[in-house]
Amino acid sequence: MDTIRRFGVRLITVDRPGLGASSADDGWTLRDWALGIREFAQVQRAEGMAAIGFSMGAPFALACGAARVVTGVSLVSATDELAHPALASALEPEAAVLVKQVATRASSAELLLRDAADADILWEATVGTSHDADQRIFADPAFEQNYRRALTDGFAQGGAGYARETVLALSRWPFDPSTITVPVDLWYADRDTNPLHSPDLGAFLAQRIPTARRFVVPYEGSMLLWTHTDAILRSLLTRIAQQ
């Protein structure tokens, strides 16, 4: 929060459908999410919003950028469009299986994810697939308490919301990244070992977004949003101001 105050930023977090306190909405899409954020901004009179998407939150933030609902986007340790044919040969086996299941049996995959995941399982999966460079962060008792509390809040209504958004993230995206006109920052670390993040640390994604600027931080893992908060915010705010 000290970083947020220092930059004079108002931080808003919005629960996606079925997560936290947000009502479930069967069949919602990335386009629906962008429209929902547009309506939220209008009701709240929140002008000039930007979006940060961490990990699998990336396509949701990018959908808002594609719809020009936000003035800029920063993607941190982000998943790419893993269902894109160009990435098929680069995927980790675990990711390839999930992408194939979603592509061929989306409804079944969503039901499987709904019943197979909860806050504890997701915490163990996150820690278990992270590089040693991240372990010092996960080992911090205060961080673990806050992170696990957030996961518990997210699964308060069960696993349906998580399952739906995972299926959306692992499907073909309903927007063309090449049409995005707002500034987009891509932040990756060269020791990110999460199989559901970009398999090439955002290189393919950066090529597809004309406004993209890509950063690859050496000797770091996937938790850049916590270790490089200042740099991520400074870059995004500077690019927005330069428009």
Question: What is the residue whose two structure tokens read 């393919």?
Answer: 204
Q: What's the pLDDT score for residue 2?
A: 79
Cβ neighbours, 10 Å, residue 91: 19
Predicted model pTM: 0.95
State the DSSP code for 155.
T
How far apart CA 242 and CA 2 sit, in angstroms, is: 25
pLDDT along the chain (243 residues), means of 10: 85 95 93 97 94 98 98 98 97 96 96 94 94 94 96 96 96 97 98 96 98 98 96 96 90
Under 8 Å CB-to-CB from 90, ≥6 apart: which residues?
199, 200
